[in-house]
Structure 1
Protein backbone atom coordinates (compact mmCIF):
# COMPACT_ATOMS: atom_id res chain seq x y z
CA UNK A 1 0.00 0.00 0.00
CA UNK A 2 1.61 3.25 -1.10
CA UNK A 3 1.46 6.17 1.32
CA UNK A 4 2.90 9.67 1.61
CA UNK A 5 4.16 8.94 5.12
CA UNK A 6 3.84 6.42 7.92
CA UNK A 7 0.67 6.28 10.02
CA UNK A 8 0.67 9.18 12.52
CA UNK A 9 -0.73 6.94 15.27
CA UNK A 10 2.83 5.60 15.65
CA UNK A 11 3.78 8.93 17.26
CA UNK A 12 1.54 8.10 20.22
CA UNK A 13 3.00 4.66 20.92
CA UNK A 14 3.54 4.27 24.64
CA UNK A 15 1.93 7.64 25.38
CA UNK A 16 -1.39 8.36 27.03
CA UNK A 17 -3.65 11.10 25.66
CA UNK A 18 -7.26 12.06 25.13
CA UNK A 19 -9.41 9.63 23.15
CA UNK A 20 -10.24 12.43 20.72
CA UNK A 21 -6.55 13.05 20.02
CA UNK A 22 -5.88 9.35 19.56
CA UNK A 23 -8.81 8.99 17.15
CA UNK A 24 -7.60 11.99 15.14
CA UNK A 25 -4.07 10.58 14.86
CA UNK A 26 -5.61 7.33 13.61
CA UNK A 27 -7.89 8.91 11.02
CA UNK A 28 -5.14 11.31 9.94
CA UNK A 29 -3.58 8.37 8.12
CA UNK A 30 -6.32 8.84 5.49
CA UNK A 31 -4.44 12.02 4.50
CA UNK A 32 -1.27 9.95 4.02
CA UNK A 33 -2.92 7.10 2.09
CA UNK A 34 -3.03 7.39 -1.70
CA UNK A 35 -6.05 6.12 -3.59
CA UNK A 36 -4.40 3.00 -4.93
CA UNK A 37 -6.49 2.63 -8.09
CA UNK A 38 -5.17 5.93 -9.46
CA UNK A 39 -1.57 4.90 -8.84
CA UNK A 40 -2.25 1.59 -10.57
CA UNK A 41 -3.22 3.41 -13.81
CA UNK A 42 -0.20 5.71 -13.73
CA UNK A 43 -1.32 8.84 -11.92
CA UNK A 44 1.88 10.33 -10.48
CA UNK A 45 2.18 10.32 -6.69
CA UNK A 46 2.46 14.12 -6.57
CA UNK A 47 -0.93 14.41 -8.30
CA UNK A 48 -2.66 11.40 -6.77
CA UNK A 49 -5.49 12.12 -4.37
CA UNK A 50 -5.49 10.72 -0.85
CA UNK A 51 -8.35 8.79 0.71
CA UNK A 52 -9.08 11.87 2.86
CA UNK A 53 -9.38 14.05 -0.25
CA UNK A 54 -11.78 11.52 -1.76
CA UNK A 55 -13.86 11.41 1.44
CA UNK A 56 -14.03 15.20 1.50
CA UNK A 57 -15.28 15.19 -2.10
CA UNK A 58 -17.87 12.51 -1.30
CA UNK A 59 -19.13 14.49 1.71
CA UNK A 60 -19.54 17.73 -0.26
CA UNK A 61 -21.10 16.04 -3.30
CA UNK A 62 -23.45 14.11 -1.00
CA UNK A 63 -24.57 17.34 0.66
CA UNK A 64 -25.06 19.20 -2.62
CA UNK A 65 -26.86 16.29 -4.28
CA UNK A 66 -29.10 15.60 -1.29
CA UNK A 67 -30.09 19.26 -1.08
CA UNK A 68 -30.59 19.66 -4.85
CA UNK A 69 -32.08 16.36 -6.00
CA UNK A 70 -33.22 14.33 -3.00
CA UNK A 71 -35.36 16.45 -0.63
CA UNK A 72 -36.60 13.26 1.02
CA UNK A 73 -33.06 12.55 2.28
CA UNK A 74 -31.85 13.67 5.69
CA UNK A 75 -28.93 15.81 4.46
CA UNK A 76 -27.26 15.87 7.87
CA UNK A 77 -27.30 12.07 8.02
CA UNK A 78 -26.00 11.88 4.45
CA UNK A 79 -22.99 14.04 5.34
CA UNK A 80 -22.29 12.11 8.54
CA UNK A 81 -22.32 8.80 6.65
CA UNK A 82 -20.11 10.25 3.92
CA UNK A 83 -17.55 11.47 6.44
CA UNK A 84 -17.41 8.06 8.11
CA UNK A 85 -17.62 5.75 5.09
CA UNK A 86 -13.86 5.25 4.49
CA UNK A 87 -12.70 5.46 8.11
CA UNK A 88 -11.65 1.80 8.25
CA UNK A 89 -9.04 2.43 5.58
CA UNK A 90 -6.96 4.23 8.20
CA UNK A 91 -5.83 0.77 9.30
CA UNK A 92 -6.82 -1.49 6.42
CA UNK A 93 -5.60 0.62 3.52
CA UNK A 94 -7.33 1.35 0.23
CA UNK A 95 -8.30 -2.13 -0.93
CA UNK A 96 -9.33 -2.08 -4.58
CA UNK A 97 -11.12 -4.67 -6.75
CA UNK A 98 -7.66 -5.64 -8.11
CA UNK A 99 -6.52 -6.81 -4.67
CA UNK A 100 -6.98 -10.47 -3.78
CA UNK A 101 -9.39 -9.71 -0.91
CA UNK A 102 -13.00 -10.89 -0.89
CA UNK A 103 -15.82 -8.46 -0.15
CA UNK A 104 -16.48 -10.31 3.13
CA UNK A 105 -12.84 -10.16 4.23
CA UNK A 106 -12.63 -6.45 3.35
CA UNK A 107 -15.80 -5.73 5.34
CA UNK A 108 -14.53 -7.69 8.33
CA UNK A 109 -11.16 -5.92 8.35
CA UNK A 110 -12.73 -2.49 7.96
CA UNK A 111 -15.29 -3.14 10.68
CA UNK A 112 -12.55 -4.11 13.13
CA UNK A 113 -10.64 -0.94 12.23
CA UNK A 114 -13.70 1.30 12.54
CA UNK A 115 -14.58 -0.26 15.89
CA UNK A 116 -11.02 0.32 17.11
CA UNK A 117 -11.14 4.00 16.18
CA UNK A 118 -14.70 4.80 17.23
CA UNK A 119 -15.13 2.68 20.38
CA UNK A 120 -13.12 5.14 22.46
CA UNK A 121 -15.32 8.14 21.56
CA UNK A 122 -18.37 9.17 23.63
CA UNK A 123 -20.74 8.74 20.66
CA UNK A 124 -18.74 5.97 19.06
CA UNK A 125 -21.63 3.49 18.98
CA UNK A 126 -23.75 6.02 17.08
CA UNK A 127 -20.98 6.61 14.54
CA UNK A 128 -20.40 2.89 14.17
CA UNK A 129 -24.12 2.37 13.51
CA UNK A 130 -23.96 4.94 10.70
CA UNK A 131 -20.90 3.22 9.21
CA UNK A 132 -22.68 -0.15 9.33
CA UNK A 133 -25.75 1.44 7.76
CA UNK A 134 -23.54 2.54 4.86
CA UNK A 135 -21.89 -0.85 4.48
CA UNK A 136 -25.19 -2.73 4.50
CA UNK A 137 -27.23 -0.12 2.62
CA UNK A 138 -30.02 -0.20 5.17
CA UNK A 139 -31.27 3.36 4.60
CA UNK A 140 -31.95 5.61 1.66
CA UNK A 141 -29.18 7.94 2.86
CA UNK A 142 -26.66 5.09 3.03
CA UNK A 143 -27.54 3.89 -0.47
CA UNK A 144 -27.28 7.45 -1.76
CA UNK A 145 -23.80 7.92 -0.28
CA UNK A 146 -22.74 4.55 -1.70
CA UNK A 147 -23.65 5.79 -5.17
CA UNK A 148 -22.04 9.20 -4.61
CA UNK A 149 -18.85 7.43 -3.50
CA UNK A 150 -18.60 6.00 -7.01
CA UNK A 151 -19.83 9.16 -8.71
CA UNK A 152 -17.07 11.17 -7.02
CA UNK A 153 -14.58 8.74 -8.55
CA UNK A 154 -16.04 9.66 -11.93
CA UNK A 155 -15.59 13.35 -11.17
CA UNK A 156 -11.95 12.71 -10.28
CA UNK A 157 -11.44 10.58 -13.39
CA UNK A 158 -12.78 13.42 -15.54
CA UNK A 159 -10.33 15.81 -13.91
CA UNK A 160 -7.40 13.43 -14.36
CA UNK A 161 -8.31 12.86 -18.00
CA UNK A 162 -8.45 16.62 -18.60
CA UNK A 163 -5.03 16.89 -16.96
CA UNK A 164 -3.64 14.48 -19.55
CA UNK A 165 -3.87 11.14 -17.72
CA UNK A 166 -5.23 9.32 -20.77
CA UNK A 167 -8.32 7.19 -21.12
CA UNK A 168 -9.85 6.28 -17.76
CA UNK A 169 -12.94 4.59 -19.20
CA UNK A 170 -12.63 1.69 -16.76
CA UNK A 171 -13.47 4.05 -13.90
CA UNK A 172 -16.50 5.46 -15.71
CA UNK A 173 -17.69 1.89 -16.38
CA UNK A 174 -17.50 1.20 -12.65
CA UNK A 175 -19.52 4.34 -11.92
CA UNK A 176 -22.20 3.32 -14.45
CA UNK A 177 -22.64 -0.03 -12.68
CA UNK A 178 -23.07 1.62 -9.27
CA UNK A 179 -25.63 4.29 -10.07
CA UNK A 180 -29.28 3.47 -9.51
CA UNK A 181 -31.13 6.79 -9.50
CA UNK A 182 -32.07 8.69 -12.67
CA UNK A 183 -30.86 11.91 -11.06
CA UNK A 184 -27.32 10.62 -10.52
CA UNK A 185 -27.25 8.96 -13.93
CA UNK A 186 -28.14 12.36 -15.46
CA UNK A 187 -25.27 14.01 -13.56
CA UNK A 188 -22.88 11.34 -14.83
CA UNK A 189 -24.09 11.85 -18.40
CA UNK A 190 -23.31 15.57 -18.13
CA UNK A 191 -19.93 14.82 -16.56
CA UNK A 192 -19.00 12.49 -19.39
CA UNK A 193 -19.56 15.29 -21.90
CA UNK A 194 -16.53 16.96 -20.32
CA UNK A 195 -14.18 14.09 -21.10
CA UNK A 196 -11.45 14.88 -23.64
CA UNK A 197 -12.39 13.86 -27.14
CA UNK A 198 -16.11 13.71 -26.44
Structure 2
Protein backbone atom coordinates (compact mmCIF):
# COMPACT_ATOMS: atom_id res chain seq x y z
CA UNK A 1 0.00 0.00 0.00
CA UNK A 2 1.48 3.32 -1.06
CA UNK A 3 1.70 6.13 1.47
CA UNK A 4 -0.08 9.38 0.69
CA UNK A 5 0.27 12.56 2.68
CA UNK A 6 -0.96 12.06 6.24
CA UNK A 7 -4.19 13.50 7.57
CA UNK A 8 -5.59 13.25 11.08
CA UNK A 9 -8.19 10.50 11.35
CA UNK A 10 -9.35 11.18 14.91
CA UNK A 11 -10.65 14.01 17.01
CA UNK A 12 -8.58 14.05 20.19
CA UNK A 13 -11.40 15.56 22.24
CA UNK A 14 -14.03 12.97 21.29
CA UNK A 15 -11.72 9.93 21.41
CA UNK A 16 -9.57 10.70 24.44
CA UNK A 17 -11.48 8.14 26.54
CA UNK A 18 -10.66 5.24 24.19
CA UNK A 19 -7.97 2.87 25.43
CA UNK A 20 -5.97 1.30 22.61
CA UNK A 21 -5.26 -1.66 24.90
CA UNK A 22 -9.00 -2.34 24.84
CA UNK A 23 -9.08 -2.02 21.06
CA UNK A 24 -6.24 -4.48 20.58
CA UNK A 25 -7.75 -6.86 23.13
CA UNK A 26 -10.85 -7.20 20.97
CA UNK A 27 -8.80 -7.51 17.79
CA UNK A 28 -6.98 -10.47 19.31
CA UNK A 29 -10.31 -12.03 20.25
CA UNK A 30 -11.27 -11.85 16.58
CA UNK A 31 -7.90 -13.27 15.55
CA UNK A 32 -8.85 -16.51 17.29
CA UNK A 33 -11.09 -17.39 14.33
CA UNK A 34 -7.90 -18.24 12.43
CA UNK A 35 -7.38 -21.16 14.82
CA UNK A 36 -10.69 -22.81 13.92
CA UNK A 37 -10.10 -25.38 11.20
CA UNK A 38 -12.84 -26.45 8.84
CA UNK A 39 -13.12 -29.75 6.97
CA UNK A 40 -12.42 -28.46 3.46
CA UNK A 41 -8.90 -28.42 2.07
CA UNK A 42 -7.34 -25.33 0.52
CA UNK A 43 -6.74 -25.92 -3.18
CA UNK A 44 -3.20 -26.81 -4.27
CA UNK A 45 -2.16 -27.48 -0.66
CA UNK A 46 -2.43 -30.30 1.86
CA UNK A 47 -3.86 -28.15 4.65
CA UNK A 48 -7.39 -27.44 5.74
CA UNK A 49 -9.06 -24.08 5.42
CA UNK A 50 -9.69 -22.13 8.62
CA UNK A 51 -12.87 -20.25 9.41
CA UNK A 52 -11.29 -16.81 9.02
CA UNK A 53 -10.20 -17.71 5.49
CA UNK A 54 -13.68 -18.99 4.76
CA UNK A 55 -15.24 -15.76 6.05
CA UNK A 56 -13.02 -13.70 3.76
CA UNK A 57 -13.78 -15.96 0.80
CA UNK A 58 -17.48 -15.80 1.60
CA UNK A 59 -17.48 -12.00 1.70
CA UNK A 60 -15.59 -11.69 -1.58
CA UNK A 61 -17.73 -14.32 -3.30
CA UNK A 62 -20.98 -12.69 -2.17
CA UNK A 63 -19.76 -9.31 -3.37
CA UNK A 64 -18.64 -10.71 -6.72
CA UNK A 65 -21.83 -12.68 -7.36
CA UNK A 66 -24.04 -9.77 -6.30
CA UNK A 67 -22.26 -7.52 -8.78
CA UNK A 68 -22.18 -10.06 -11.62
CA UNK A 69 -25.89 -10.86 -11.40
CA UNK A 70 -26.83 -7.24 -10.57
CA UNK A 71 -28.72 -8.45 -7.49
CA UNK A 72 -30.93 -6.06 -5.58
CA UNK A 73 -29.10 -6.36 -2.27
CA UNK A 74 -27.56 -3.98 0.22
CA UNK A 75 -23.84 -4.54 -0.19
CA UNK A 76 -22.86 -3.15 3.20
CA UNK A 77 -25.39 -5.37 4.94
CA UNK A 78 -24.32 -8.39 2.89
CA UNK A 79 -20.62 -7.96 3.60
CA UNK A 80 -21.17 -7.38 7.31
CA UNK A 81 -23.21 -10.58 7.46
CA UNK A 82 -20.46 -12.50 5.70
CA UNK A 83 -17.79 -11.18 8.04
CA UNK A 84 -19.67 -12.09 11.23
CA UNK A 85 -21.08 -15.33 9.82
CA UNK A 86 -18.63 -17.69 11.54
CA UNK A 87 -17.53 -15.60 14.52
CA UNK A 88 -19.51 -17.82 16.89
CA UNK A 89 -17.15 -20.65 15.96
CA UNK A 90 -14.40 -19.00 18.01
CA UNK A 91 -16.10 -20.57 21.03
CA UNK A 92 -18.19 -23.32 19.42
CA UNK A 93 -15.77 -24.64 16.80
CA UNK A 94 -16.75 -25.63 13.29
CA UNK A 95 -19.54 -28.15 12.76
CA UNK A 96 -19.35 -30.31 9.65
CA UNK A 97 -22.27 -29.78 7.28
CA UNK A 98 -23.31 -33.43 7.45
CA UNK A 99 -22.74 -33.96 11.18
CA UNK A 100 -25.59 -35.24 13.35
CA UNK A 101 -24.96 -32.41 15.83
CA UNK A 102 -25.33 -29.66 13.24
CA UNK A 103 -28.90 -28.78 14.26
CA UNK A 104 -27.63 -27.72 17.71
CA UNK A 105 -24.56 -25.82 16.52
CA UNK A 106 -26.34 -22.46 16.52
CA UNK A 107 -26.86 -22.64 20.30
CA UNK A 108 -23.16 -22.53 21.15
CA UNK A 109 -22.42 -20.13 18.33
CA UNK A 110 -25.08 -17.70 19.55
CA UNK A 111 -23.56 -17.84 23.04
CA UNK A 112 -20.15 -17.12 21.54
CA UNK A 113 -21.50 -14.09 19.70
CA UNK A 114 -23.09 -12.82 22.93
CA UNK A 115 -19.70 -13.11 24.64
CA UNK A 116 -17.98 -11.18 21.86
CA UNK A 117 -20.68 -8.52 22.03
CA UNK A 118 -19.79 -7.97 25.70
CA UNK A 119 -16.05 -8.26 25.19
CA UNK A 120 -13.81 -5.41 26.25
CA UNK A 121 -12.90 -3.20 23.31
CA UNK A 122 -15.84 -4.17 21.10
CA UNK A 123 -17.50 -1.07 19.67
CA UNK A 124 -19.67 -2.89 17.11
CA UNK A 125 -22.97 -2.27 18.85
CA UNK A 126 -25.01 -4.37 16.42
CA UNK A 127 -22.68 -7.38 16.24
CA UNK A 128 -25.27 -9.77 17.70
CA UNK A 129 -28.03 -8.24 15.60
CA UNK A 130 -26.11 -8.69 12.34
CA UNK A 131 -25.19 -12.26 13.27
CA UNK A 132 -28.81 -13.09 14.10
CA UNK A 133 -29.98 -11.57 10.81
CA UNK A 134 -27.73 -13.85 8.79
CA UNK A 135 -28.51 -16.87 10.97
CA UNK A 136 -32.31 -16.69 11.07
CA UNK A 137 -33.31 -13.86 8.74
CA UNK A 138 -35.12 -14.11 5.41
CA UNK A 139 -33.72 -11.05 3.66
CA UNK A 140 -32.24 -11.24 0.18
CA UNK A 141 -28.83 -10.72 1.73
CA UNK A 142 -29.18 -13.64 4.13
CA UNK A 143 -30.52 -15.89 1.36
CA UNK A 144 -27.58 -15.09 -0.90
CA UNK A 145 -25.19 -15.67 1.99
CA UNK A 146 -26.61 -19.16 2.58
CA UNK A 147 -26.32 -20.04 -1.09
CA UNK A 148 -22.69 -18.96 -1.32
CA UNK A 149 -21.85 -20.53 2.04
CA UNK A 150 -22.86 -23.90 0.56
CA UNK A 151 -21.26 -23.22 -2.81
CA UNK A 152 -17.74 -22.53 -1.53
CA UNK A 153 -16.97 -25.79 0.32
CA UNK A 154 -18.50 -27.70 -2.59
CA UNK A 155 -16.16 -25.82 -4.91
CA UNK A 156 -13.15 -26.65 -2.74
CA UNK A 157 -14.09 -30.32 -2.61
CA UNK A 158 -14.57 -30.41 -6.35
CA UNK A 159 -11.09 -28.96 -6.85
CA UNK A 160 -9.31 -31.20 -4.33
CA UNK A 161 -10.52 -34.45 -5.90
CA UNK A 162 -13.27 -34.81 -3.32
CA UNK A 163 -10.75 -35.21 -0.50
CA UNK A 164 -13.08 -34.29 2.37
CA UNK A 165 -16.02 -36.19 0.89
CA UNK A 166 -13.89 -39.32 0.55
CA UNK A 167 -12.35 -39.03 4.03
CA UNK A 168 -15.75 -38.68 5.71
CA UNK A 169 -17.75 -41.02 3.49
CA UNK A 170 -20.19 -38.41 2.19
CA UNK A 171 -22.96 -39.65 -0.08
CA UNK A 172 -24.48 -38.22 -3.22
CA UNK A 173 -27.90 -37.89 -1.56
CA UNK A 174 -26.43 -36.01 1.41
CA UNK A 175 -24.87 -33.40 -0.86
CA UNK A 176 -27.93 -33.12 -3.08
CA UNK A 177 -30.18 -32.70 -0.05
CA UNK A 178 -27.99 -30.06 1.57
CA UNK A 179 -28.08 -27.95 -1.59
CA UNK A 180 -31.70 -28.55 -2.63
CA UNK A 181 -32.94 -25.19 -1.28
CA UNK A 182 -30.76 -23.39 -3.82
CA UNK A 183 -33.05 -24.57 -6.64
CA UNK A 184 -35.61 -21.92 -5.69
CA UNK A 185 -33.32 -19.11 -4.56
CA UNK A 186 -30.59 -19.30 -7.22
CA UNK A 187 -31.41 -21.70 -10.11
CA UNK A 188 -28.21 -21.13 -12.16
CA UNK A 189 -26.02 -22.11 -9.21
CA UNK A 190 -28.24 -25.09 -8.42
CA UNK A 191 -27.98 -26.32 -12.01
CA UNK A 192 -24.19 -26.09 -11.80
CA UNK A 193 -24.16 -27.92 -8.48
CA UNK A 194 -26.43 -30.69 -9.78
CA UNK A 195 -24.21 -31.25 -12.79
CA UNK A 196 -21.11 -31.45 -10.63
CA UNK A 197 -22.71 -33.71 -8.03
CA UNK A 198 -23.18 -36.20 -10.86
CA UNK A 199 -19.58 -35.64 -11.96
CA UNK A 200 -18.23 -36.17 -8.43
CA UNK A 201 -20.27 -39.35 -8.10
CA UNK A 202 -18.94 -40.69 -11.40
CA UNK A 203 -15.39 -39.95 -10.22
CA UNK A 204 -16.02 -41.94 -7.04
CA UNK A 205 -15.59 -38.93 -4.74
CA UNK A 206 -19.17 -39.22 -3.49
CA UNK A 207 -20.74 -42.51 -2.48
CA UNK A 208 -23.59 -43.28 -4.87
CA UNK A 209 -26.27 -43.63 -2.24
Query: How does the TM-score come out when normalised to structure 1?
Result: 0.72
Distance 1:77 1:182 in 2: 23
Report the counterpart of residue 108 of structure 1 in structure 2: 107
Report the counterpart of residue 32 of structure 1 in structure 2: 35
Distance 2:106 2:162 in 1: 34
Distance change in 2, residues 1:178/1:50 (3 Å): farther
Asked if 2 retains the 8 angstrom alpha-carbon contact of 1:31 and 1:51, the reply is yes
Asked if 2 retains the 8 angstrom alpha-carbon contact of 1:150 and 1:178, the reply is no
Asked if 1 retains the 8 angstrom alpha-carbon contact of 2:176 and 2:194, the reply is no
Report the counterpart of residue 64 of structure 1 in structure 2: 64
CA displacement at 1:81 relative to structure 2: 0.5
The structure having more radius of gyration, on CA atoms, is: 2
Q: How many residues align?
A: 176
Asked if 1 retains the 8 angstrom alpha-carbon contact of 2:32 and 2:90, the reply is yes
Runs of 4+ with >4 A deviation: 97-100, 162-172, 189-198
Partner of 1:73: helix, strand, or coil?
coil
Asked if 2 retains the 8 angstrom alpha-carbon contact of 1:151 and 1:175, the reply is no
Distance 1:151 1:20 in 2: 34
Query: How does the TM-score come out when normalised to structure 2?
Result: 0.68
CA displacement at 1:196 relative to structure 2: 9.6
Structure 1 gap ranges (5+): 1-15, 40-44
